[in-house]
Amino acid sequence: MKGALANITEAVGHTPIVKLQRIGQGLAADIYVKCEYLNPGGSHKDRVASNMLRRAEQAGLTPGGTIVEATSGNTGAALALQAAIHGYTCVFVMPDKMSQEKISSLRAFGARVVVCPTAVEPDDPRSYYQVAKRIAAESTNCFYANQYHNPANPEAHYLSTGPEIWEQTLGECDVFAAGMGTGGTISGVGKYLKEKRPDTTILGVDPVGSLYYDFVKSGRITKPFTYKVEGIGEDFFPSTMNLKIIDDIVRVDDKECFLMTRDLVRLEGLYVGGSGGAAVAGAIKYAEASGKKQNILVLLPDSAQKYLSKIFNDEWMRENGFLDETSGLGTVRDLLAGKPSHIVTAHPSDSVRDVVGSLKSLGISQLPVLDGGKLRGIVHEVDLLRHLVSGEGTLDSPIATLVESDYATVTPSTKIELLQSVLSDAKIAIVTEGETLVGIVTKIDLIDFLSKRAPLAAVRPPTPLA
């Protein structure tokens, strides 16, 4: 029949761009979204899967073989769709924080799904990255998709999404915003748009807990920690991410991501998932800060269908403190309100002698180090002690070489429950708002905050006897 496609994979791409009408009202900028969730597999990863499989077949993969991948769900769904058409079997390895909908959708395609713990290091043999590698190594006629290091990932967006955006917008996209995960989307699209129009701003959006934001801002690798939003952020650096293409980066927390996701569905009719909410929240933060009249295009990666049991479940949202009616233990902002507002800092050129004097007079064990107003890291008493004992330096040596990254960064809106897990892994938490240092939180600060709240629990009426 004329007009029909040969199979569903030919429907990948050509997704619409829509202007937001209610969200972002009052901004000087106009916010537009590219609806990648309308791809047949439900996400922008359809483009990536098609290109990766094309490259794999060029390299010798034949039908009847096995596709193995570590995935948060979307790449798996896209590969499963391709496999169903082209005659492959699939094994997908996922972290246990992913929604049940994602797991079930992969199994619906006949794929085998292996679930691994989230809270382990990337090189831990139990991590979903390492388990996927092991399964691939043990299989014959196998394609390990390896989206985090496969150049066909960003290439897909350079060949497909980028040209499509340029054609649809007639080159009028001033800012392209996307969540930062494997880096394929922002690197591929960013490269194409920069080639066509070098003054295009490429804006990355990163969740609190991921490595990208602090590395882009300070060049330091801080302590990653777990977060709830799926599909963006990383605890390592994929080779598919080209950080040099990024002009600016904005950080968002879980609550901002999820509330914006719900608003996009209910106010704009855009049936999107949490990473889309994150990207829009980040774009709005950027627009508010810049105050410019610009056309900002945000990529919406996937569909709300995969998050009905989480983001769109009021009970789950309340349990995790993401709805306003549940206050929980409060936020970092509440904790900082009970501390002195003045923050003592050091500069890389300060001497060991001066820093030791500051630590001694203040009765603290570390100082944040700023250079030109930007956070460069912390200097800790342990590092000063090691420096002096080694005999490699003196009291008059500058602290520049002693600055370290054993800290995590949070925002004032970070929940106390999350801060608790952060401080179990990092020496201290640095609180930033944008690029501004607004506070420092140590373990004893958190203990003091929680101890002051403890009497409140004591005055609750006793449970009636049966």
Q: Which of 34, 45, 217, 285 is catalytic?
A: 45
| 6 contacts: CB under 8 Å, gap ≥ 6 | none
113 and 103 Cβ atoms separated by less than 8 Å = yes
Q: Is 133 among the residues known to form the active site?
A: no
CA atoms within 13 A on the CB side of 131: 18
Distances in Å between the Cα of 404 and the Cα atoms of 105, 389, 400, 444, 445 are 43, 18, 9, 21, 21
Residue closest to 276 by CA, chosen among 339, 224, 230:
230
- Residue (of 233, 235, 317) closest to 279 by Cα position: 233
Task: Return the structure tokens found at 134.
Answer: 């092991």
CA distance 173 to 363: 52
Residue 108 neighbours by CB distance under 10 Å: 10
- Helix-helix angle 381-390:352-362, to 10 degrees: 140
Question: How many whole angstroms separate alpha carbon 427 and alpha carbon 441?
Answer: 9
C-alpha–C-alpha distance, residues 366 and 355, integer Å: 9
Q: Residues with catalytic annotation?
A: 45
